[in-house]
Structure 1
Amino acid sequence: MARQAEAEREKRAKIINAEGESLAAAALGDASDTMMAHPLALQLRNLQSLVEIGVDQNTTVVFPAPLMSTIGELGSFLARETAAAAPAAAAPPAGTGRTDKSLSPAGSAPGTAA
């Protein structure tokens, strides 16, 4: 009877472990999709890993990074961000365009004598 209970506990533990692995794999797949859509996300994650390594120990880490491709990706990212921000900056904010004339040709306010 004790062996049966122990086998049942092991069975539940394996099922729970497998469910956890499945959830972890799904989360890694989502992260991979995000990094494919945003190439700089992988570079930022690599830099974050370096920060985490440096916090634990005072060490020097040699981390190979494709410098030229990273610079190119950063340039294209900044160009996209600038292009996305340009239409918003070019349009005047709502409510600031004046269609009425608040001053008369003489330079005084309407309804007052010049």
Structure 2
Amino acid sequence: MMTPDINPVELKVFLNHIYELKKGVRQMVLYTTNKRYEDFAVKRLRSQRIKFVIQPVDDERINLFFGKAECIEAIRMMVTRPLNLLTPEEDFILGAMLGYDICAQCKRYCTRKARKMGA
């Protein structure tokens, strides 16, 4: 049974990510959600024995990384500041780890690198 402050519609994507992770479709997930769902998410991940890392985004939201242990260990080492402050290289690696389109990641990397170099 869901608690009264939990909206199942808002958590449908989260639950689908867990399903895909368990089926091997994904190795790691980045899910951004309202902080009010943190307890529910943490309980669900712990009950499924899924490794995770929580990163605050702002006063209302969190980034929840979860997935294979080796991926989450890398996230613990790499994501030590807000995502918008990652280097172009860190951003590229993160996107690749999340399974984003590699050509789109290459384009994003080049754009971010050129911006950083002042081009």
With normalisation by structure 1, the TM-score equals: 0.26
Structure with the higher helix share, 1 or 2: 1
Asked which structure has the greater CA Rg, the reply is: 1
Structure with the higher strand share, 1 or 2: 2
Higher relative contact order (CA 8 A, sep 6+): 2
With normalisation by structure 2, the TM-score equals: 0.25
